[in-house]
Amino acid sequence: MNYIFYFLIVASIIIGAINGKLQDVVNAVMSGAELSVKVAFSLIGIMAFWLGIMKIAEKSGLIKWISKLLQPITKVLFNELPPDSPAIGDIAMNFTANAFGLANAATPFGIRAMENMQGENKDKSTASNSMCLFLAMNTAGFQLIPTTVLAILIGIGYQNPTEIIAPTLIVTSIAFISAIIMAKIAQVLSCRLKEQSND
Amino acid sequence: MTKLLNLISLWALPVILITVLTCGIARKVPVYEVFTDGAKDGFKIAVKIIPYLVAIIVGISMFRASGAIDMLANVLAPILVKFNIPPDTLPLMIVRSLSGSGALGIFSDIANTAGANAYSTKLAAVMLGSSETTFYVLAVYFGAVGIVKIRYALIIGLLADLIGIIAAVSVCNLMFA
């Protein structure tokens, strides 16, 4: 992350200077910082709402029930988490919310999942394998219906907007499955590397 | 099929709310008290992710403002034409992983200039709908729990995005070209 951060900033300044856009780059610092706070604050209300709903689901035993239902899958994918970990219910809720295009709800569920996985994590500043897998699943952005895109298409007068649903679903499934496979491969590889360095 | 999918997406939220609240009441959970107790964390989490968001969003805003993406697009354009990919969709491919609002803006641009029913618009729609803003997800989720050493998470996120782009191009070529 250190190198990425360094690269983004230094490369932007150098490339901006070459392109004669240094003023824009400088302005972007202000607007970017402002945007970050706007994004974070716009999350507060909806985050609070879904965290509240999640707490009810947890207290009523609903989340435990969902995690039990999904255990055959999560046991294979998240093999480093204890089978009764509260994170599994959160992961399931996050996936469901994402699939139905409820991005606002998916984020608080995902953050709860991360908090619960952090509870099992030995090194608190380093991502665990489960966290990396969970993140890969989320960045692949699996969803059944691309609601935002459909809304824009309808807005600009696209004649048959629903025809993009099927190809989008195929593509997102491919990306989602390959993200999981790659994360599992990376997990195995990183375990091997660790064993070798211990020998 | 699409009607059914639209119906599901409309009803997903109401069904979740009814199910959770009814389950809570049935199990004698004090739903109002528990709700407000859980909701308390909303502010804390939002504030906690601000430093991570600032780092990522400022870095990416600067990168986009520098014109680097246009330079990259100019270099890659001749290669893409060979694979039957319209060059106007290239900025979207690059920005998709970096910025959600940026990707939406570029998509609207493509749709407005290429026309509602152009191949570019269809390809761009599929690419936009099938992927997430990798850097944003990374900043929010890892930021919320204070993870700074991200190991292989970003590489895999970006590789999955690349696979998504290749898949989008192939599927759209088969269906729309």
Q: Which residues of B touch A138 (CB under 8 A)?
A: 132, 137, 141
Q: Which residues pair with B149 in a beta bridge?
A: A126
Nearby residues of B44 by Cβ (< 8 Å), 6 or more positions away:
none
A32-90, pLDDT tens digit by residue? 899 888 888 888 888 889 889 888 988 898 888 888 888 888 888 898 888 778 888 88
State the total domains in chain B: 2
Q: Which residues of B touch A190 (CB under 8 A)?
A: 151-152
A86-130, pLDDT tens digit by residue? 888 889 889 888 887 777 788 889 999 999 999 989 899 999 999
Neighbours of B57 (CB within 10 A): 27
The Cα–Cα gap between B110 and B91 comes to 10
Token reading at A12: 């932007």
Question: Which chain A residue lies closest to B108 (C-alpha atoms)?
Answer: A152
Q: How far is B85 from chain A (nearest CA, A)?
A: 16
> Do B114 and B162 reside in the same domain of the chain?
yes
> Do B101 and B78 reside in the same domain of the chain?
yes
Q: Which amino acid is at B62?
A: M
Verdict on whether the full-model pTM lies above 0.95: no
Comparing CB atoms, the residue among B38, B129, B132 nearest residue A52 is: B38
Give the domain range for residue B45.
Answer: 41-175
> Do B87 and B125 reside in the same domain of the chain?
yes
Q: From the candidates B7, B21, B104, B151, which should be mutated to test the interface with A, based on the most A CB atoms within 10 A?
A: B151
> Do B108 and B45 reside in the same domain of the chain?
yes
Nearest to B100 by CA among B133, B125, B63, B135: B133
> Do B27 and B45 reside in the same domain of the chain?
no
Under an 8 A CB cutoff, do A1 and B150 touch? yes
Distance from the first to the final alpha carbon of chain B: 23
Under an 8 A CB cutoff, do A1 and B40 touch? no
- Residue A14 above 90 pLDDT? yes
Under an 8 A CB cutoff, do B42 and A49 touch? yes
B78-135, pLDDT tens digit by residue? 888 888 888 889 989 989 988 888 898 889 888 888 887 889 999 999 999 888 899 9
Nearby residues of A105 by Cβ (< 8 Å), 6 or more positions away:
A46, A50, A97, B13, B16
Q: What is the DSSP string of B110-171?
A: HHHHH-TTSHHHHHHHHHHHT---HHHHHHHHHHHTT--B-TTHHHHHHHHHHHHHHHHHHH
> Do B100 and B144 reside in the same domain of the chain?
yes
> Do B35 and B48 reside in the same domain of the chain?
no
> Do B105 and B27 reside in the same domain of the chain?
no
A126-180, pLDDT tens digit by residue? 999 999 999 999 998 888 778 778 878 888 887 787 788 889 999 999 999 999 9
Given a contact cutoff of 8 angstroms between Cβ atoms, the answer to whether B13 and A102 are in contact is: yes
Token reading at A25: 């780059």
> Do B157 and B73 reside in the same domain of the chain?
yes
> Do B166 and B130 reside in the same domain of the chain?
yes
Total CB pairs under 8 A between chain A and B: 353
The Cα–Cα gap between A88 and A78 comes to 8
Q: Which residues of B touch A158 (CB under 8 A)?
A: 111, 116-117, 121
> Do B49 and B34 reside in the same domain of the chain?
no
> Do B73 and B9 reside in the same domain of the chain?
no
